[in-house]
Structure 1
Amino acid sequence: MLLHILGSSTLAPARPSPLRQSGAGTGAATVRCASSSSNPSPSSSSSAAAAAGKQVAKVHSYGALDYERRAALRWSSLYRRIAVGHGGRPVGRTLGAWDEGERRLDKWELCRIARELRKFRRFNLALQVYDWMTERRDRFSLSSSDMAIQLDLIAKVRGVSHAEEYFEELPDPLKDKRTYGSLLNVYAQAMMKEKTESTFEQMRKKGFATDTLPFNVLMNFYVDAEEAEKVSILIDEMMERNVAFDVCTYNIWIKSCAAMQDADAMEQVFNQMIRDETVVANWTTYTTLASMHIKLGNSEKAEKSLKEAEKRTTGREKKCFHYLMTLYSHLGKKEEVYRVWNWYKATFPTIHNLGYQEVLSALVRLGDIEGAELLYEEWASKSSSFDPKTMNILLAWYAREGFVTKAEQTLNRFVEKGGNPKPNTWEILGTAYLKDGQSSEALSCLEKATAVASPSKWRPRPTNVESLLANFKEKNDAESADRLMNVLRSRRCEENEEYKSLINTYAFQDT
């Protein structure tokens, strides 16, 4: 689930008595949460639009994205310079040059730029924007909302331990529900159960667990941790303490029912949501329902939910199109994937890398490799940002199917166009070589992956390591084994028990 921890969400006042879930099971699927108000598309019926128009929603926010309303500024030029044209130059230098040579920057512009960078998962660049403001506290007044965003970015870029240090150093007045909520989300995203529960308990004691967001974070954590049965306990607590539900709360509740294989309870929760006049079911609700029905094998209900999601799709939310293509592909509906893709292209003047990644993944899942190759060529001819993730989708299929030559040609063309392969790109090609019995070339790919200057936490897959070690031991190739050990040491794999076991199993005996 994409919980907008630092964004806004719609809250509902009082709740009817919550449902109890029964049954058992494991597994979790993805739930999306967006704003709970929904504007039906022109294809929605007029009566549905009128009904939606009557919904009254009270908007609550932790303030992290609430900027003052003002005339549009030309911040986008600076954003593009940071996101695309900075050429490896530190963001602080770019901001300083603009501030001195172009026009004096204000906080609204900088927060807007950081927000856009976060939207496209450019977390490192966004953090550098906040670091630049932090170094100029005498000029920029940073609130606890800003600190909450910065804490979240630190965790994403530098790791949880650095986020913890940042939180501990905050002045006590800034350790409020916003920064505590951000820390809670950091622990939940890292699947650190003890710290997640402990932080939530601290928020309870300090009176910060009075809003929907911390409950949503903890409930979603339990679903992802395969402890979905605990969601109903938190639902009861929210009822007892009169903590309002929002659309995300219902989506997580639905998700927990599906995780416990309880289709009846899932339908009951959805019906309760429909009766709740303070919450408007939006596309996230119906795509959530669709993904749960797919998980439970109810294809007809899944397709019906996707049609309902389409009625609530607007021209402002690309994610909805992404989920529609993905879910239709899981249903085996190739014609629907193409229909949504054409609708997507007609709606947005520019299709970014993520859009191509979603449709390519959908087509590969459907086995339409010819169509995927055509769209990949379309992307390669238009893109100015050669994201290896896009190319990796086709590359991985070639590797799985044993098309070594095609994999080589695809990667070579990508590099010729100016693309920079990531460590996992080289390993994908290495996997193709392994399937083709070319161990030496596979090892070379792992060495190239290690040489890539990247903050990636990449480690070679244990299955690939095992295949290479077994091959080298069979051939008594100690030199290649030593080269592989250098790869493992460079990525600190020897600290991991799984790799240790492989190394001991296939160790060469001293002679």
Structure 2
Amino acid sequence: MWALRRVPKLLRDTSIRTGASYSASARLQTSNTFIEKNAIFSGSSQLVSDASSSLLRFYRSTHASSNFSVWRCGLSSQAGAESSGEEDDLEDGFSELETAGNSENKRDHIAKDETEDGLDSDQEFSVDVEETASNELELFGAETDVSDKKSSGRRTTSGLFKALISAPGLSIHKVLDKWLEEGKNLSRTEISSATLNLRKRRMYGRALQLSEWLEMKQQLEFNEKVYASRLDLIAKIRGLQKAEDYIQTIPKSFRGEIIYRTLLANCVVSNNLKKAEEVFNKMKDLEFPSTAFACNQLLLLYKRLDKKKIADVLLLMEKENVKPTLFTYRILIDTKGLCNDITGMDQIVETMKAEGIEPDIQIQSVLAKHYASAGLMEKAEEVLKAMEGDNIKENRWVYRFLLPLYAGLGKADEVERIWKICDSKPRFEEYLAGIEAWGKLGKIEKSEEIFERLLKTSKKLPARYYTHLLKVYSNHKMLEKGKDLVKRMAGNGCQIGPFTWDALVKLHVEAGDVEKADSILQKACQQNEIKPMFTTFMVVMEQYARKGDIHNAEKMLHRMRQAGYVARVSQFQTLVRAYINAKAPAYGIRERMKADNIFPNKSLAALLPQVDAFRRTSVSDLLD
């Protein structure tokens, strides 16, 4: 697993206290280690208590301690979130954690079901390190018996599901009452199929109404996993506070580890650092065993918001003898890549291999992406060739990764070669990869050609397929074509959602029409079912900041709060830039940040003096 070098010097600033496995009074001091852009990686190995379990260790820093303390191996954030400045791409979905090994087949099934059912959900599947995998929480297992999952024939769509999606949103209970009165099938298998189909299309409101009706009518025996599924839906639709309140209504015998890991995962999706740490602490107080799942959730959250705490989680995993998973390595590799520490990234890979764990396709794609970003084109190509394997025709799984990655390297000939292999009968994800790849290469006509072929595969395509071409238009500032495509979507009955809003907003921003982009975003905010993505707000806010438009920059910050997004350093960085460009002081900005439990990172700390109305300068000293 991982090698952990013992800390040569004990510091008082940061501590890990353990009470489950060690004496309650025992206090283990650890170094204030964390990952920064110039972090040093320790490549040597040292076995820990279990010979089969070891940890990687990142050290060392001249910065202050993270004040990361653990009692009973829980977490407590005293400083709040400190952002690294990167924006996370996904705000929706369940938990961006371990990807199932059969995700390719799963995606193809979902795409096929969407087109066969004529659904138009505006969902999108990321293929990067933060890929959604709800099955890791074992929620769906609550709604499906093992025997129900085994099917040798063609997958069929639940009749109950079709009835639910055809009904108006506020009359789900009436449809269900009628279904029951007519004596139609309401077996656990039927309920499971309907719930799964609603979930994978992000129709969480309808899934929640179904769950509430089942309990009210006593049509389903509730167990811990069924309660966890309800909890997840409540968190998605009504927020974390309502989800916490619901936990108190669950019988104590069913308030197990799955319930709290579900809440923890939703805290991570919401980027709520304080709440995530509180839930983790609660799990330790309840004496649930430490799991790689919970630690990976924290690692994922810290990767986005507070990288300096990553090393502390790794040390916690060592103390609790929690073995890292493939996804743990994936998070660390991506973090090192984002910090542009290619040497450290390579060392993590070597350590992982030494422990007998080979990089999967996702890790290889992450490596190729970061090599390309660092200008190491030859190394990136080596990774891509390794992904292809000896026989690319038999390795169909990697096509959708290779196409955009080769395009990112500017290798049009390689994109052409790969596309020719799957050109005779592309899969759904390959269509999308082809649209993206040719768009990156500036071959708009080829992207459009593939899109038109895709349209012919089904009478009604989901909105996410249109969104891929819309992003191509946005990247090339093709405003009129983008507008025409959106009109086409509406004409084909597609439901416009967050990813389409995001592409539309960026399309107008790229065209220099920030006012129109703001108007689109405002209309999107008025939709009740789902909120726009965080990055959609930020792209508009950044445009106002560049113009020095303080009023509208503040307005965007307020809208993000209304939409339910917690405060982040990146928001205040953008806001401060607006004041700087307006050459105006930002009165009380430090107090506002403190109230939101936000502490400045390096870049924000360097900007704050420029908007300080009471700062001392050489001129002011002379005048005084």
| TM-score (normalizing by structure 2) | 0.58
Instruction: Mark the CA change 1:22 to 1:142 in structure 2 (over 3 Å): closer, same or farther.
Output: same
Partner of 1:380: 455
Instruction: Mark the CA change 1:97 to 1:337 in structure 2 (over 3 Å): closer, same or farther.
Output: farther
Q: In structure 1, what residue type is equivalent to 2:381?
A: E
Shift in Å, 1:19? 2.6
Instruction: Mark the CA change 1:435 to 1:291 in structure 2 (over 3 Å): closer, same or farther.
Output: closer
Q: Secondary structure at the match of 2:275?
A: helix
Shift in Å, 1:170? 2.2
Mean alpha-carbon deviation: is it higher for 402-411 or for 433-442?
Answer: 433-442
Instruction: Mark the CA change 1:147 to 1:292 in structure 2 (over 3 Å): closer, same or farther.
Output: farther
Mean alpha-carbon deviation: is it higher for 206-215 or for 286-295?
Answer: 286-295
CA contact (8 A) 1:283 1:310 kept: no
Higher helix share: 1
* 1:266 and 2:345 aligned: yes
Q: Secondary structure at the match of 1:274?
A: helix
Partner of 2:56: 19
Partner of 1:291: 369
Partner of 1:204: 284
Partner of 2:221: 141
In the alignment, which of 298, 302, 316 is matched to residue 380 of structure 2? Answer: 302
1:81-230 pair list within 5 angstroms: 81=162, 85-86=166-167, 90-101=171-182, 103-136=184-217, 138-227=218-307, 229-230=308-309
* 1:325 and 2:403 aligned: yes
Shift in Å, 1:26? 6.8
For the residues of structure 1 that align with 2:513 and 2:399, how far apart are their CA atoms?
40
1:243-254 pair list within 5 angstroms: 243-254=322-333
Instruction: Mark the CA change 1:243 to 1:122 in structure 2 (over 3 Å): closer, same or farther.
Output: same
For the residues of structure 2 that align with 1:285 and 1:306, how far apart are their CA atoms?
11
**Deviation string for 1:237-265 (max 9, x for gaps)?**
22232222221122223233334443333
Q: In structure 2, what residue type is equivalent to 1:130?
A: S
Q: Secondary structure at the match of 1:76?
A: coil
Shift in Å, 1:183? 1.0
Partner of 1:509: none
Shift in Å, 1:453? 7.1
CA contact (8 A) 1:219 1:252 kept: yes
| Structure 2: runs of 5 or more not aligned | 1-49, 62-83, 90-95, 105-134, 583-624
Q: Secondary structure at the match of 1:379?
A: helix
* 1:33 and 2:98 aligned: yes
CA contact (8 A) 1:21 1:257 kept: no
Partner of 2:489: 414
* 1:456 and 2:456 aligned: no
Percent of counterpart pairs with the same letter?
23
CA contact (8 A) 1:82 1:91 kept: no
CA contact (8 A) 2:299 2:313 kept: yes
CA contact (8 A) 1:26 1:259 kept: no
Q: Secondary structure at the match of 1:33?
A: coil
Shift in Å, 1:389? 4.0
Shift in Å, 1:189? 1.5
- Number of residue pairs matched by the alignment: 451
CA contact (8 A) 2:474 2:482 kept: yes
Q: In structure 2, what residue type is equivalent to 1:391?
A: Y
For the residues of structure 1 that align with 2:562 and 2:250, how far apart are their CA atoms?
33
Mean alpha-carbon deviation: is it higher for 179-188 or for 318-327?
Answer: 318-327
**Deviation string for 1:236-294 (max 9, x for gaps)?**
322232222221122223233334443333223222322334x5543233233333433
Q: In structure 2, what residue type is equivalent to 1:301?
A: K
For the residues of structure 2 that align with 1:326 and 1:374, how far apart are their CA atoms?
17
For the residues of structure 2 that align with 1:196 and 1:286, how far apart are their CA atoms?
29
Q: Secondary structure at the match of 2:222?
A: coil
For the residues of structure 2 that align with 1:411 and 1:113, how far apart are their CA atoms?
30
Shift in Å, 1:38? 11
Q: In structure 2, what residue type is equivalent to 1:287?
A: S
CA contact (8 A) 1:114 1:126 kept: yes
1:382-401 pair list within 5 angstroms: 382-395=457-470, 397-398=472-473, 401=476
Mean alpha-carbon deviation: is it higher for 332-341 or for 153-162?
Answer: 332-341
For the residues of structure 1 that align with 2:226 and 2:293, how far apart are their CA atoms?
17
| TM-score (normalizing by structure 1) | 0.69
Mean alpha-carbon deviation: is it higher for 244-253 or for 388-397?
Answer: 388-397
Q: In structure 2, what residue type is equivalent to 1:231?
A: I
Shift in Å, 1:93? 4.7
Q: Secondary structure at the match of 1:139?
A: coil
Q: In structure 2, what residue type is equivalent to 1:134?
A: E
For the residues of structure 1 that align with 2:508 and 2:341, how far apart are their CA atoms?
44
Mean alpha-carbon deviation: is it higher for 321-330 or for 232-241?
Answer: 321-330
Shift in Å, 1:394? 3.7
For the residues of structure 2 that align with 1:27 and 1:437, how far apart are their CA atoms?
24
Mean alpha-carbon deviation: is it higher for 173-182 or for 142-151?
Answer: 142-151
For the residues of structure 2 that align with 1:82 and 1:318, how far apart are their CA atoms?
36
Shift in Å, 1:216? 0.9
For the residues of structure 2 that align with 1:326 and 1:82, how far apart are their CA atoms?
38
Instruction: Mark the CA change 1:385 to 1:377 in structure 2 (over 3 Å): closer, same or farther.
Output: same
* 1:366 and 2:441 aligned: yes
**Deviation string for 1:332-372 (max 9, x for gaps)?**
33444455556667787x62xx6654443333222221111
CA contact (8 A) 2:228 2:262 kept: yes
CA contact (8 A) 1:282 1:312 kept: no
CA contact (8 A) 1:155 1:162 kept: yes
Q: Secondary structure at the match of 2:456?
A: helix
Mean alpha-carbon deviation: is it higher for 115-124 or for 186-195?
Answer: 115-124
Measured on the aligned residues, the alpha-carbon RMSD in Å equals 4.9
Q: In structure 2, what residue type is equivalent to 1:131?
A: E
CA contact (8 A) 1:187 1:193 kept: yes
For the residues of structure 2 that align with 1:153 and 1:162, how far apart are their CA atoms?
11
